[in-house]
């Protein structure tokens, strides 16, 4: 099993290209199930989760063609992939495929909308809480779906004639259910109104793709989406937006290690709350024509308190990375995790570096220490994995990060990107 080996102490200087957003690429790939015509996606990241979803879509009958790299393109530029779901050959998403990745459950919306039936295994994925699917099922029921649970599978059927538009008022913000109901509603008869919809940039990216495919959606980037159902969607070409979580991760890595890094293609408006926190922590953040520049030379890291919140608040997917940064702040910081109930599993591993962290329920109190020391650590989930890399960049001596298959799910060629900027980091096989 592969591991990451790194030796801390080097400043980061150079340029890091930001890949396409995993959290947009996956639902965009799933949207290909809504049309018989080809959907061409550009800037698709090379990730384990993308490959796994390709397997799931192929099981449904989607033909997938990966285009070759264009002349002059950087080896880290995103992929161009065509998805053609000319015929859905199977409306079942089996346990052995869905159990490894939660987002694969989202196929239930397009399958139900187009084929009027779906049998989808209850999902798996990172162990960061129960993450129930009740809001998915609630939303689909509001569109007329008949749903039952049978042997660990969600069995959904649309009444004769298909789904029907309805009002879906989510009791709390939910990204996955917003994606799923929005996709399903594009082919429902009549008007669907989604209230308290998630406003994450990835939702808007998918909505704009659906519009390019012929969907009628208004209220994009707001908490109320109005979808006028159409009889069918057509093909389109669409670009995956840059990954704001990868952007925030490398920004925090630069703030942790010190130096001067340009995050190429990054967009400040997609994570302004996290950038504001970085500035409070002592980093200099500036927008440039090619992306975002993160600079920290000689200044100490200042303690900052945060609460994780739905967009536009501080993202839960950056909480672990920010905690790693705060382990070397010049004081006490407090982090309140409000999205998931079990997202502090990285705390025990950060403690192996010598970090001083106390957890009481949703609240983590981090008392900065003068130095971290390299250690053998183990990744527990995708975002926790990269927090250990961030700590290792500033730790004294050698750090080994084990179980990095979690990293490969969400970060494309992380060791290559960091080594380009001067980090002593490598992947070790076996």
Annotated binding site for phosphoenolpyruvate: 22-23
Q: Angle, to 10 degrees, between the axis of helix 382-394 and the axis of helix 244-257?
A: 20
d(CA 202, CA 175): 9
* Structure-token pair, residue 398: 């050698």
Residue positions in the annotated binding site for UDP-N-acetyl-alpha-D-glucosamine? 102, 131-135, 317, 339
Q: How far is CA 363 from CA 10, 99, 120, 180, 347, in A?
A: 32, 30, 35, 31, 12
Q: Dihedral sign for Cα 142, 143, 145, 148, please.
A: negative
Is 126 assigned a catalytic role? yes
Chain position carrying tokens 């076996």:
430
Report H helices in 48-165.
48-59, 95-98, 108-115, 134-142
Chain-centroid distance of CA 195 in Å reads 22
List the one residue out of 139, 148, 215 whose CA is nearest residue 177. 139
- List residues forming the annotated binding site: 22-23, 102, 131-135, 317, 339
Residues in the chain: 430
Contact 293, 286 (CB under 8 A): yes
- CB contact at 8 A, 236 and 213: yes
Separation CA 423–CA 4 (nearest Å)? 12
In the structure, how many helices (H) and strands (E) does the chain have?
14, 24
| Dist. CA 235–CA 145, nearest whole Å | 26
Listed in sequence order, the DSSP H helices in 282-381 are 319-326, 346-351
Q: Catalytic: which of 92, 126, 209, 421?
A: 126
**Which residues are part of the catalytic machinery?**
126
């Amino acid at each position: 099993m592969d591991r990451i080996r790194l030796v801390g102490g080097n400043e980061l200087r150079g340029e890091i290209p930001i890949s396409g957003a995993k959290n947009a690429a996956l639902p965009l790939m799933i949207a290909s199930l809504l049309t018989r015509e080809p959907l061409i996606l550009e800037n698709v990241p090379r990730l384990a989760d993308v490959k796994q979803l390709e397997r799931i879509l192929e099981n449904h009958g989607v033909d997938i063609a990966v285009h070759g790299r264009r002349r002059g393109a950087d080896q880290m530029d995103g992929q161009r992939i065509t998805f053609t779901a000319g015929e859905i050959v199977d409306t079942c998403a089996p346990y052995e495929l869905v159990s490894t990745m939660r987002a694969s459950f989202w196929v239930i919306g397009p399958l139900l909308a187009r084929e009027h039936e779906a049998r989808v295994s209850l999902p798996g994925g990172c162990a960061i809480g129960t993450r129930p699917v009740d809001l998915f099922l609630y939303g689909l029921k509001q569109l007329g779906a008949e749903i039952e649970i049978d042997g660990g599978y969600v069995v959904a059927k649309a009444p004769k004639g298909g789904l029907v538009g309805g009002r879906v008022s989510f009791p709390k913000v939910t990204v996955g259910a917003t994606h799923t109901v929005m996709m399903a509603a594009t082919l429902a008869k009549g008007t669907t109104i989604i209230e308290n919809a998630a406003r994450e940039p990835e939702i808007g990216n998918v909505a704009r793709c659906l519009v390019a495919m012929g969907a009628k959606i208004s209220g994009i980037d707001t908490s109320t989406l109005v979808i006028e159902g159409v009889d069918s969607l057509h093909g389109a070409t669409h670009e995956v937006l840059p990954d704001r979580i990868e952007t925030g991760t490398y920004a925090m890595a630069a703030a942790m290690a010190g130096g001067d890094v340009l995050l190429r293609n990054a967009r400040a408006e997609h994570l302004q709350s996290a950038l504001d926190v970085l500035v409070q922590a002592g980093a200099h953040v500036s927008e440039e024509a090619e992306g975002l520049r993160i600079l920290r030379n000689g200044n100490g890291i200042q303690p900052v308190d945060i609460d994780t919140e739905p967009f536009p608040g501080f993202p839960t997917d950056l909480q672990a990375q920010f905690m790693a940064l705060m382990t070397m702040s010049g004081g006490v910081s407090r982090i309140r995790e409000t999205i998931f109930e079990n997202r502090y599993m990285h705390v025990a591993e950060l403690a192996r570096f010598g970090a001083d962290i106390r957890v009481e329920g949703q609240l983590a109190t981090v008392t900065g220490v003068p130095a971290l020391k390299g250690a053998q650590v183990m990744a527990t989930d995708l975002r926790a994995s990269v927090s250990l890399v961030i700590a290792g960049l500033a730790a004294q001596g050698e750090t080994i990060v084990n179980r990095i298959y979690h990293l490969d799910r969400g970060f494309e060629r992380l060791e290559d990107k960091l080594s380009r900027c001067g980090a002593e980091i490598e992947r070790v096989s076996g």
